[in-house]
Amino acid sequence: MNIQKTLKIPLSCPVYRKYCSKIEENVYKPVKKSGKSHTTKINNFFRKDPDLAEIKEFIPEKYLDCKRKTLTDNLYLICAKIARRTVRHVMPAIKNNTNQIVCETNAGLGFISSELLRKKIPLIRLYESCPEFREMLKDFDKEYKGKVEIFTKDLFLLHRYSWMDKIDHSNRVELLLKNVPRKKWTDEPCMTLIGPMSKIDFIKYLMRCLTLQSDIVTYGRVQIFAIMRPKFFTLLDASPKDNLHTYTWTTVLFQLFFDYELLEKFDRDRFLPWETASNKSPKRYVDTIDRNKMYLVKINFKKDLPVPTEDLLPLYFFVQHFFHRGRRRVIQTVEKWVPGGGLNIILPQLGHENYCQNMDIMTTFGELTPQQILGVFREMRCCDKYENSPFKAMIESQMMKLETIETDLHENAILHKTLAEDIEVKINE
């Protein structure tokens, strides 16, 4: 709209210039965002709680300054009360097992370790990648001489260090697991690991280690008290009743390999750093996610594995590739990879505690529980044509690929060493 023509005012008129300046101010003036800044919110949060106000000065600024839009690798507990509640759940599981390593990863200010030491646990190992926190944790050794070991890595990132070991043929994993006792699988856990778990990559790594019988699994069973995000627990605890974005092949393998229990829920704001709430719709997970909480979950490898050790890798590939997104039909998929196996699925030859009684050609993997999927695998495994099947050939091919990759990495260790060092620097930042 031409204001001069509409109002019939000369361009040189002061009224015109004054009127236009007001219009421009209204149109182009930046809109102030409502609400308090992150700095104000976090300052108020610490100010309201006297116990938290006392420890604020010991927390590195990088965990206070900004809200994170992506999931961080490390979360830190800043509340001594939550540490005490956590230790109350931990103690019954460790007090009678003296031959193990008890450790806290993402130790931060060491609240959990402090409570464990007060409970007369003879030795605590702290894994901490943040230099500022590590410097403060050294005070533990003064008060509890000889009862504390400090390592400069986050054990929940062990999968990354394992990968880097393959790149430069180093021994990071071995050093991080130094003096962990080697036990039989049916013995008590060789290690109890406690701390906030930002992601579940470590859980996936444990499942791969189990199937390959490598790395940390060679020491025995590992027990974890993980403080995790509700959405990840929801994924691990899902069932066929949930949508297929939640009930995945990871869910199936987790429930087959681990015993687990939700112990308690904590307030999310007692863990740093805070994060920006995602604007995305929570379609990927069930609608009951409690975003303002963190869940304390006890996780332990099953003493009795679902299949013999030699069948763990075939089971892993079976679930990972056949389940896919849950929409593949069971009988057709099995018949394609193990000819004749479809008949065993319809008319099972083995005894099962929980087998799908209404299996037909329309049944999909997403409709079956983990135990029912295990039953399908066992029936396929006992088929006469299994040993010469395309599925068996695929397993052997995958094993050859793994061996080829590791051999190539070994031969080029010097060339890859710089890459591994660069990655390690980024992890420790």
| Per-residue model confidence (pLDDT) at position 328 | 87
Cα–Cα dist 268/270, whole Å: 5
User: Where do the structural domains in the chain lie, given as residue ranges?
Assistant: 76-301, 306-429
b/e 52-91 (16+ beta carbons within 10 angstroms → b): beebeeebbeebbeeeeeeeebbbbbbbbebbeebbeebe
Give the 3-state DSSP-derived string for the chain, with helices as H, strands as E and coil as C.
Answer: CCHHHHHCCCCCCHHHHHHHHHHHHHHHCCCCCCCCCHHHHHHHHHHHCHHHHHHHHHCCHHHCCCCECCCCCCCEECCHHHHHHHHHHHHHHHCCCCCCEEEEECCCCCHHHHHHHHCCCCCEEEECCCHHHHHHHCHHHHHCCCCEEEECCCHHHHHHHHHHHHHHCCCHHHHHCCCCCCCCCCCCCCEEEEEEECCCHHHHHHHHHHHHCCHHHHHCCEEEEEEECHHHHHHHCCCCCCCCCCCCHHHHHHHHHEEEEEEEEEEHHHEECCECCCCCCHHHCCCCCCCCEEEEEEEEECCCCCCCHHHHHHHHHHHHHHHCCCCCEHHHHHHHHCCCHHHHHHCCCCCCCCCCCCCCCCCEHHHCCHHHHHHHHHHHHCCCCCCCCHHHHHHHHHHHHHHHHHHHHHHCHHHHHHHHHHHHHHHHC
Q: Find out whether 363 and 329 touch, Cβ atoms under 8 Å.
A: yes
Residue-level pLDDT at 423: 46
> What's the pLDDT score for residue 43?
84
Q: What is the model's pTM?
A: 0.83
What confidence score (pLDDT) does residue 394 get?
87
pLDDT in tens, the chain (429 residues): 444 444 444 545 544 444 444 444 444 444 444 456 778 888 888 888 888 888 888 988 888 876 566 778 889 999 999 999 999 999 999 988 989 999 999 999 999 999 999 999 999 999 999 999 999 998 888 888 889 999 999 999 999 999 888 888 888 999 999 999 999 999 999 999 999 999 999 999 999 999 999 999 999 999 999 999 999 999 999 999 887 678 899 999 999 999 999 999 999 999 998 877 654 544 555 545 788 899 999 999 999 999 999 999 999 999 998 887 778 899 999 999 999 888 888 888 888 888 888 888 898 999 999 999 999 999 999 999 999 999 988 888 877 776 555 555 454 544 444 444 444 544 555
Specify the pLDDT at position 26.
Answer: 46
Q: Which of 225, 255, 262, 256 is nearest to 238 (CA)?
A: 255
CATH no. for 76-301 = 3.40.50.150
